[in-house]
Amino acid sequence: MPKPVILAVDDDISVLEAVIQDLRRQYGANYRILRAGSGQAALDTCTQLQQRGDAVALFLSDQRMPGMTGVEFLEKAQDLYPDAKRALLTAYADTEAAIKAINTARINYYLTKPWDPPEEKLYPVLDDLLENWKEDYKPPFEGLRVIGPRWSLNDYQVRDFLSRNQIPYVWLDPEKSDEAVQLLERFRLDDHKLPAVLFPDGTSLVQPSQTQLAERIGLRTQAQKEFYDLVIVGGGPAGLAAAVYGASEGLKALVIEPEAPGGQAGSSSRIENYLGFPSGLSGADLARRAYAQASRFGAEFLTQRATGIRSESNYHFIKLADGREVSCHVALIAVGVNYRKLDIPGLDQFTGAGVYYGAAQAEAISCRNEDVYIVGGANSAGQAAMHFSKYAHKVTMLVRSSLEKSMSKYLIDQIAATSNIEVRTGTEIKEVQGNGRLECIKVGSPKGEIVCSASSLFIFIGAAPQTDWLPETVMRDPNGFVLSGPDLQIESKMPKIWKESRSPYLLETSTPGIFVAGDVRHGSVKRAASAVGEGSISVQFMHQYLARF
């Protein structure tokens, strides 16, 4: 396959030549760098590339060109290559037009001229755009194949695990795909024992456990060391932020995460109010960036589940699901929360067979042209509704009260402007029914109950902390959220547990040297940005704790 294309457009030959030289120096090894002296010439080039089936990764166009401005070209190029990233080169005086173009032409970024030095002003921006493009780009596939029926919990769990760890794969349903049947015969696999994961080297895994799958796709399941300065339990935004700041400041850091970096936020289809990303970013993209950043500083990641923690002589020992232990000076609890389960008749039997907790992005394409129901009225539910609206025939949000109580205004506006999203307030699920998979739901409202045909139901209600594995010495509130800092002072048990002469540090739990950050903390703000903030500042208090020894 030919390399993907980066197309630079400028009517000023000297400027165009300078752009081409900078692009070739940085990206020539992996991309074909093409040029055009006008918007129309660039469109002609795009038409030829499209006819040959070539991919375009990035358009980089000057704004001030005769006959067709850069914004006009990028708008027309979007019709030919809707997935290509679009960047505008502008003079300082054109900044206002460039900002408007972010919305009108869906431009991803604008750069002001001159861009010297490119190492600081050009390459970092284009690196991000190209990395984002590569996430969605699908060259001829040579990777993993997952064979399994759609309405199977095990099949869903395998696909969700691969998706959240950003491992490319092709999913084949043997009930709909002749290729799946042929592959099962070629690999001599029993179609009654699915899912099966087929690897490029000709090997396969049948009904794999999460640990088996993690090992095969290259995730670390055993710690490299027995002792770390800092062990972080949970790889959501708070844990990732702590890993970045801890590792960058010289702490040997280990992140223990049983599923995938990003936590609950990692499954968000679009976060548009995160500082520094005017066009928004997906939770998976945020997790990918943070994981790469923490790894670059030397943080280690472990795909395991923590099952216990004990403290002895100023050291902490975290027990893992495989029976091993790792020890540390300081620990951070950042396990986040899970969505609460609905307690209604018939629900459990359809989990993974039409009923899903969270965004379940592995299911989005499967819902193409179907009617999807979403339960919940917070930001996560709104982000999921917007995501599924791109695939589903109709998305219906079932909300007990109103969106205004728990959803950001920008999301409410987007939902109102999306024609295939319906919001039903004052409603709740009463019952689910089906034969082997979800087929219909009973919805109750003040006007009465109705039965609706439904193949997919996604649930986003409340926050349930998973803290049963913690010892009694780590105090929690009645709902299971971990108490820390000043919140500990109001507990009558505090004097009995806390043996230190000092007061607990902010974000320090009732066990000295064990800290908490993110959604699992009592009183936290359930937003990705606040979790990142808590994870970051927790490292400061860890240093204060360590300085005492």
pLDDT tens-digit map of 431-469: 999 998 999 999 998 888 899 999 899 998 877 898 999
Token pair recorded at residue 390: 């791109």
Give residue 113's pLDDT: 80
Give residue 498's pLDDT: 79
Tens digit of pLDDT for each residue in 45-76?
Answer: 999 998 887 899 999 999 888 889 888 899 89
Name which residue leads in pLDDT, 412 or 358. Answer: 412
Q: Say whether pLDDT at 142 is over 80.
A: no
| Amino acid identity, position 184 | L
Give residue 201's pLDDT: 84
Q: pLDDT-derived band of residue 168, with 50, 70 and 90 as boundaries?
A: confident
Cα 180 to Cα 3: distance, rounded to the nearest angstrom = 30
Percentage, residues of the chain above pLDDT 70: 95
Question: Is the CATH number of domain 144-216 3.30.950.10?
Answer: no
225-239, 281-295, 506-520 — which is least confidently predicted? 281-295
Query: Beta 464-465 vs 337-338: how paired, if at all?
Result: antiparallel
Write the class of the CATH domain 227-327+466-546.
alpha beta
Question: Which residues are bridge partners to 147 per DSSP?
Answer: 172, 196
Cis amide bond preceding 114, omega within 30: yes
CA distances 245 to 248, 252, 508, Å, are 5, 11, 17
Give residue 362's pLDDT: 66
Q: pLDDT-derived band of residue 92, with 50, 70 and 90 as boundaries?
A: low
Give residue 198's pLDDT: 94
How many of the other CB atoms lie within 10 Å of CB of 295? 16
Token pair recorded at residue 425: 């307030």
Give residue 18's pLDDT: 93
**5-136, CATH topology level:** Rossmann fold (3.40.50)
Q: pLDDT-derived band of residue 104, with 50, 70 and 90 as boundaries?
A: low
Domain ranges of the chain: 5-136, 144-216, 227-327+466-546, 348-459
Q: Say whether pLDDT at 492 is over 70.
A: no
Predicted TM-score of the model (pTM): 0.73
Q: pLDDT-derived band of residue 519, with 50, 70 and 90 as boundaries?
A: very high
Give residue 495's pLDDT: 59
Percentage, residues of the chain above pLDDT 90: 57
Q: pLDDT-derived band of residue 486, with 50, 70 and 90 as boundaries?
A: confident
Q: What is the residue-averaged pLDDT of the chain?
A: 89
For the domain bounded by 348-459, which CATH number is listed? 3.50.50.60
Query: Beta 169-172 vs 196-198: how paired, if at all?
Result: unpaired
Token pair recorded at residue 418: 């999306």
Q: Say whether pLDDT at 306 is over 60.
A: yes
Q: Say whether pLDDT at 320 is over 90.
A: yes
Give residue 365's pLDDT: 76
Does 348-459 match 227-327+466-546 at the fold level?
yes
Give residue 42's pLDDT: 94
Give residue 95's pLDDT: 67
Tens digit of pLDDT for each residue in 179-196?
Answer: 899 889 988 998 889 999
